[in-house]
Structure 1
Amino acid sequence: MSWMDDGGFEMQAFTAQDGRPMARMVFCTSTGQTYFTLTKTEVQRVRRECGRILKEMEETK
């Protein structure tokens, strides 16, 4: 199993106090947990970059 399957990575959507949609990204490592709070725009940027990297990886097969 990968570290993602073992719960080493998690994302959760939530609503900020001012009503904006937000996401919490958590990375769990042997040294502890690191939390990132992302806006909807930041999540969209991460998604776009992941798509770009996946496309690049497919081209190099």
Structure 2
Amino acid sequence: MSWMDDGGFDMQTFPAQDGRPMARMVFCTSTGQTYFTLTKTEVQRIRRECNRILKEMEASK
């Protein structure tokens, strides 16, 4: 089982105090948990970067 399957990575949405949608990304490792609070724009940038990396990985097959 990978670290993502057993709860080592999680993302949730929540409203900011001013009502804007936000996301919380959590990485759990042997040294503890690391939290990142992201805006919608930051989540979109992460998605674009992940898609770019996936295309590179597919091209190198």
TM value normalised by structure 1: 0.98
| Residue of structure 2 equivalent to 1:6 | 6
Alignment of 1:18-37 (within 5 A): 18-37=18-37
Gaps of 5+ in 1: none
For the aligned residue pairs, the C-alpha RMSD in angstroms reads 0.4
| Residue of structure 1 equivalent to 2:42 | 42
Gaps of 5+ in 2: none
* Counterpart AA for 2:16: A
| 4+ long deviations beyond 6 Å | none
